[in-house]
Structure 1
Amino acid sequence: MYQALYRKYRPKVFSDVVGRDAITAVLRGQVKSGRVSHAYLFCGMRGSGKTTCAKILAKAVNCHDPVNGDPCGKCEACRAIDSGLTLDIVEMDAASNNGVGEVRDMIEQLTYTPSELKMRVYIIDEVHMLTAAAFNALLKTLEEPPAHVMFILATTEVHKLPATIVSRCQRYDFDRIPMDDIVRRLRYVADCEKIECDDDALYVMAKLASGALRDALGYLELCAASGRRLDEKTVSSLLGTSSYDTLLGIADAVSSKDVSAAFRLLDDAYGRVNDIAVLWFELVSLFRDLLVFKATGSGAYTDATPSQITKLSAMSGRFNREKLMYTIKTLEDAIYMMQRAPSQKRIIADMSVVRLCDERLDGGAEALASRVAALEDDVALLNSGITPVPVPEKKAPAPEKAPERAPEPAPAPDKVEMRVSRKFADVASKLKAADPSASIWLPSAKAYECADGTYRITLDSAFMADIAEKSRGAIEKAVISVIGGHSPSDIVITAGEDDKKYELIDEVIEALQK
């Protein structure tokens, strides 16, 4: 019968556990010295080795001839535990057995001595799922269990456990397994299973697993089923992620402010990923690596593979730190907005790309810092004596025949005075609460109170104005509620280029004061 890779290659001794040297050293020392605790608490993320260490510890305390704290794997007790036929090792899933009744049934059985092993071990997985009554029933037994009983509790959410439970256990925290350790384990399993794969492909799996070895083995098993040699592009395609070259191409387009190239790459990537937000998380990870490389000059603190570090080094030279921090902030803001408005993910993603390629569209502090840094770089370049090559001006073609008489232009209409709305921040706050999708266009919106009685909300493009128009009902209610004195017909939503007949009186007053 076929067995999943994570079960087939589950470590049998402490020395084989990946990335847990400190924890396994303590547990082995306790087994060797015979000073084993009556209750353990293993907490940490999924796939980090909690259940594996619990099973090895249960076997080690019952082994007839332990070897340096590890179970021998040959004695009758070890064979019985490996076969899963012994009744003295009880694995309990607290997610499905979380009531006080199940806990009381377990407590009643504690008085009986083990049938064939030295100790009866209870491994309670996802212990945080127990009810409050179940925890209360377990409390006294956990503090003073019979001499032949051991409890090993495992949880991914230790903060949900009562402090009285945690204080009665020896606690061990299982953090994320380092990526290099996961890659080495994947290589070992791939060689044993005769799976042909490149190191870069294994790094893609390890990075996607985010420190969970079990997840990484699952990805390897999934990709191996394709029957093909596994390289980076194949694995990225099978797992629904973007290739590193695609991500670097997007970064290159952002650095050169080439919106067309960025959209071309994104359009191709959209068809490959399962969720646009996943692509944005990958871009955040890439720009984080670029920022770390820019700050330290080393790839040691990045998640890049050895072959990717060279590409990372070349790309980092095209950005300053301010631009990288602005890019990460913009991408994270887009991810937050995607979570608030899932149906608008594509629009939010496209807007953030346009902002990244032109910081002038964003009035935030990060965008301003990025623009100032770019200007400082240009000034430094000019001071060094290097001048940019001027772009030759294209001469307009001469007209074949001059018109005999040009018509006189019509007189321009009188401009209508308007002032910046001082209460638009209050309008925006009320609008966000009523319609979360307004967060898409509000950063680029400006509001004016006009002399003709209208209240104008101006967006930087017709595209943004169309999006804002969909929220007209919420806008009218917010403006009338905060400012008053306006009817719905007085509220105008427009693009900046449509406001030519309006004159900002604040600017006129400022000019006169000078």
Structure 2
Amino acid sequence: MSYQALYRVWRPQRFADLVGQPVITETLKNTIITNQISHAYLFAGPRGTGKTSAAKIFAKAVNCPNAKDGEPCNECSICKAITNGTLNDVIEIDAASNNGVDEIRDIRDKAKYAPTEATYKVYIIDEVHMLSTGAFNALLKTLEEPPTNVIFILATTEPHKLPATIISRTQRFDFKRIQPKDILERMEYILKQKDVKYDDKALRVIARAAEGGMRDALSILDQTMSYGDDVVTYENALQVTGSVTTSLLTEFVSEVAHQDVKAALVSVRKIVDAGKDANQFIEDLISYYQNTLLYKQAPEMVLEQELGIVDDQFKQIATDANANVIYQIIEILNDIQQQMRYTLHPDVYLEVLTVKIATLNRGGVEGSAADSKQIEQLTGEINDLKQQLSALKQSVITTDSKPQAQSTPKQSATPQPAPVKKQSAPSHRVNLEKIYPILDHATRSDLNRIKSSWAELVQNLDVVQRSLMNIANPVAASSSGVVLSFSYDIFYQKAVNDRSLIDAIGNGFDRIIGYAPDLSFVPEEQWQQIRKDYYNHKRMRGNANQPAPSAEQSSAPKQHSNAAGNDNSDEPPLPIDDQGVHEQASAEPDVVTKAEELFGKDILDVKND
């Protein structure tokens, strides 16, 4: 075979020829100059960044008798033999096909013998992460106690797959992706040496498509030269890489920014008809929007990359772009790119993508104006609520200032429910049929669980809903329901009629605690009376089957105050605390007192359940 690929012909033979890794080359050269050569090295990094080339140059430099400043001479017999791969003391092994224990044991056994021609015996194990667990264990002992004059160089693209015991016994060098600028300069040098005509824009397209790998760049350049009969043109580079022209890309982005869906669809159809790769088109779009964001924040970063897209039209698009919309567009591009992996009709996805981001832009371009309008609307609503609140407070003050007739409630032989206090003209009647079942099963643990998740739930609501729920608090909870108290009656009325708010709260509880409880709303000013009425109602139900107390018992003064209300009415048998949770009654049950009267305390043994 007379022809060799460019990346083989132009493989670096000296550290100075290694592109894009100045720190690594300088360190390796100083290691050789100062004779501080380690027994094992690990070269890790992306493909095509010079790992294997650096390993061969290092093998030549440590064995070259004419080495100068850490560089091999490439003229002696040892350098030439290593370059041609014929020196027995430099062994290059592909771990992908020699990953068994036997191969590594063979290396371990042969490493004991001294080198025949060179000063050091060098083992270069490429793609070392492909070794099996047993092979790593066989290699570990040799790396821990290496023979004299033996150097191991391990190269890998996936260092995270190597055992920590292997990595800790090597000097690690991380090869970085090569910058497009360095790739461009190297391709220009090679083409000038070959006396090949080229278009500067074509080399920029190839440099971007290489994604930081010099070998990939030279392979694409080789293919472009073959396609164009040893002439590298911009059109040929676009055809080979499947990329879209910068002008067409800019035109498409401009049409999307101006919500011209029809024109954007026509541009997509041109791209598909031209045979461009759909995935590459999305990659180009992501890169374009990425550079748009970078240009808005740091224009010099885009200019330094020399990507060939910074023209007047690009600057105008970047200036007018809305950053939040670009974030959403990039997310949509990533989602579509994932979906296109398994489709046979990528043009459909491209058209759907076009409509989606163009219509998304309709709200995004005017985002600032929309936000201002929404803020203005919210401010007006808040002012109206403040006025209504002031009027409501004044009404309450006026009502409280009027003298009210005092009445003495009549004692009856049977207990009667306490009278309900009149509220300050509520506009909505509280639904007690929903609240009472919750109070029947309310517990402290349920309320604590609701309260612990309340702040997170409110934070996840939108601005309007969050401002409304900031003045609400959970006051009672069971395993299936929650009672929320509102500081002001006007906000209680607004919450009761807001179906979207109720759904949002239910969804929030379902996400945080695992279920959506039934919600009941009450005004704070009515909550105390509701609790009191609930326990009076519960007492009535509990005493329904008991004989009515005598007149003397009914008129006897009570020894305990009511925990649910503020007056001196009868205390319910199971008081409720301020948070709406059942607690153990402090006084003994009436049945115990009655039993003591009948049988005496001496023979009575009371046990709590």
User: What is the TM-score when the length of structure 1 is the normalising length?
Assistant: 0.69
**Match in the other structure for 2:136:** 135
For residue 273 of structure 1, report the CA deviation from its aligned partner: 4.9
CA distance in 1, matches of 2:29, 2:353: 52
- After TM superposition, the structure 1 = structure 2 runs for residues 121-160 of structure 1, keeping only pairs within 5 Å, are 121-160=122-161
Map 1:292-441; keep pairs closer than 5 Å.
Answer: 292-300=294-302, 303-306=305-308, 308-339=310-341, 341-343=342-344, 345-359=346-360, 371-373=366-368, 375=370
Correspondence for 1:118: 119
Partner residue, 1:285: 287
CA 1:123–1:272: 2 relative to 1, 3 Å: farther
CA contact (8 A) 1:45 1:156 kept: yes
Q: Quick check: 2:220–2:240 contact (8 Å CA) kept in 1?
A: no
In 2: Cα distance, 1:136 partner to 1:376 partner: 62
Note the C-alpha offset of 1:346: 3.1
Distance in 1 between residues matched to 2:306 and 2:370, nearest whole Å: 30
Aligned-pair distance for 1:60?
0.4
Q: What is aligned with 1:34?
A: 35
1:292 Cα shift?
Answer: 1.1
8 A contact 1:241–1:273 mirrored in 2? no
- Residues 178 and 309 of structure 1: CA distance in aligned 2, closer, same or farther (over 3 Å): farther
Q: Is the 8 A contact 1:359 1:371 kept in 2?
A: no
The whole-number CA distance in structure 2 between the counterparts of 1:97 and 1:228 is 39
Q: 1:169 to 1:359 in 2, by over 3 A?
A: same
Counterpart residue number, 1:261:
263
1:124 aligns to what SS in structure 2? Answer: strand
Change (3 A) 1:173 1:374: farther
Q: Which residues in structure 2 correspond to 1:102-117 (within 5 Å)?
A: 102-117=103-118
Aligned to 1:85, the other structure's residue is in SS state coil
Q: Distance in 1 between matches of 2:331 and 2:269?
A: 22
State the match for 1:271 in structure 2. 273
Structure 1 residues 222, 128: CA separation in 2 closer, same or farther (over 3 Å shift)? Answer: same
The more displaced of 28-37 and 112-121 is 112-121
**Larger CA Rg, structure 1 vs 2:** 2
Give, in whole Å, the separation in 1 of the partners of 2:216 and 2:140. Answer: 34
Q: Assess if the C-alpha contact under 8 Å between 1:111 and 1:146 holds in 2.
A: yes
Question: 2:189 matched to which residue of 1?
Answer: 188
What is the rounded CA distance, in whole Å, between the counterparts of 2:7 and 2:166 in structure 1? 30
The DSSP-based 3-state class of the residue aligned with 1:358 is: helix
Q: 1:378 Cα deviation (Å)?
A: 11
Q: Deviations over 1:40-88 (max 9, x none)?
A: 0000000001001000000000010211001111222212222322111
* Equivalent residues of 1:126, 1:154 under 8 A apart: yes
User: 1:399 maps to which residue?
Assistant: none
Please give the per-residue CA displacement for 1:90-116, whole angstroms capped at 9, x wherever unaligned.
Answer: 000000000001111111111211111
AA matched with 1:282: D
Deviations, residues 15-59 of structure 1 (Å, cap 9, x unaligned): 111011100100000000111110000000000010010000000
In the alignment, the residues of structure 2 paired with residue 189 and residue 374 of structure 1 have an alpha-carbon distance, to the nearest angstrom, of 54
Judging changes above 3 Å, is the alpha-carbon distance between structure 1 residues 257 and 196 closer, same or farther for their aligned structure 2 residues?
A: same
1:184 maps to a residue whose letter is E
C-alpha distance in structure 2 between counterparts of 1:177 and 1:348, whole Å:
33
- Take 1:228 and 1:251, find their aligned partners in 2: how far apart are those partners? 34
Q: Contact 1:322–1:370 (CA<8 Å) still a contact in 2?
A: no
Deviation at 1:272, TM superposition (A): 3.9
Counterpart Cα distance in 1 of 2:114 and 2:165: 27
Q: Report the equivalent of 1:422.
A: none
Report if aligned partners of 1:95, 1:127 keep a CA contact under 8 Å in 2: yes
Could you tell me whether the CA contact under 8 Å between 1:291 and 1:325 is conserved in 2?
no
Give the SS at the match of 1:95.
coil
Q: 2:420 maps to which residue?
A: none
Moved more, 42-51 or 139-148: 139-148
Shift of 1:282: 1.1
Which deviates further from its counterpart, 344-353 or 277-286?
A: 344-353
**Residues 44 and 272 of structure 1, relative CA distance in 2, 3 Å threshold:** farther
1: CA distance, partners of 2:371 / 2:299: 21
Partner letter of residue 110 of structure 2? Q
Report the secondary structure of 1:171's partner residue.
strand
Instruction: Give, in angstroms, the shift of residue 204 of structure 1.
Output: 0.6
- Percent identical pairs in the alignment equals 38
Unaligned regions of 5+ residues in structure 2, if any?
A: 375-497, 501-609
Q: 1:136-161: CA deviations, max 9, x gaps? A: 00000011111111100000000000
Q: Deviation of residue 261 (structure 1)?
A: 1.3
Question: 2:14 touches 2:71 (CA, 8 Å); kept in 1?
Answer: yes
Deviations 1:301-354 (A, max 9, x none): 675535644442133233222232222222222223334x53453333222211
Paired position in structure 2 for 1:206 = 207
Contact preservation (8 Å) 2:322, 2:364 = no
Distance 1:232 1:159, change over 3 A: same
Match of 1:466 in 2: none
- AA aligned to 2:249 is L
Between 1:84-93 and 1:342-351, the stretch displaced more is 342-351
Whether the 8 Å contact between 2:64 and 2:73 is mirrored in structure 1 is: yes
Shift in CA distance, 299/37, structure 1 to aligned 2, threshold 3 Å:
closer
Q: Distance in 2 between matches of 1:338 and 1:296?
A: 33
The 1:310–1:36 alpha-carbon spacing in structure 2 relative to 1, beyond 3 Å, is: farther
**Are residues 352 and 300 of structure 1, via their aligned partners in 2, closer, same or farther at CA, if it must alter by over 3 Å?**
closer
- Using the TM superposition, name which of 323-332 and 285-294 deviates more: 323-332
Matched, 1:6 2:1: no
The separation in 1 between residues aligned to 2:268 and 2:11, in whole angstroms, is: 40
Judged with a 3 Å threshold, the aligned counterparts in structure 2 of structure 1 residues 304 and 325 are, in CA distance, closer, same or farther, namely farther
| Cα pair 1:43 1:154 within 8 Å, conserved | yes
1:151 to 1:273, Cα distance in 2 relative to 1, 3 A? farther
Q: How does 1:171-250 map to 2 (within 5 A)?
A: 171-225=172-226, 226-227=228-229, 229-250=231-252
Residues 292 and 301, structure 1, Cα contact 8 Å, conserved in 2:
no
Q: Partners in 1 of 2:301 and 2:17 — Cα distance?
A: 29
* Contact 1:58/1:89, CA 8 A, preserved across alignment: yes
Q: 1: CA distance between counterparts of 2:305 and 2:149?
A: 46
Change (3 A) 1:328 1:60: same
| Structure 1 residues 488-512: Cα deviation after superposition (integer angstroms, max 9, x where no partner) | xxxxxxxxxxxxxxxxx979xxxxx
Verify the 8 A CA contact 1:123 1:153 in the aligned structure 2.
Answer: yes
Match of 2:410 in 1: none
Structure 1 segments (4+ residues) deviating >4 Å: 301-304, 367-371, 374-379
Equivalent residues of 1:40, 1:170 under 8 A apart: yes
Unaligned runs of 5+ in 1: 361-366, 380-504, 508-514
CA distance in 2, matches of 1:75, 1:269: 55
Q: Give the Å deviation of 1:257.
A: 1.1
Structure 1 residues 408-431: Cα deviation after superposition (integer angstroms, max 9, x where no partner): xxxxxxxxxxxxxxxxxxxxxxxx
Alpha-carbon distance in structure 2 between the residues aligned to 1:306 and 1:28? 36
Match of 1:166 in 2: 167
Distance across 1 between alignment mates of 2:282 and 2:298:
24
Change (3 A) 1:95 1:117: same
Q: TM-score, normalised by structure 2?
A: 0.59
Partner of 2:104, secondary structure, is: helix
Alignment length (residue pairs):
376
Instruction: Tell me by how many angstroms 1:295 deviates.
Output: 2.2
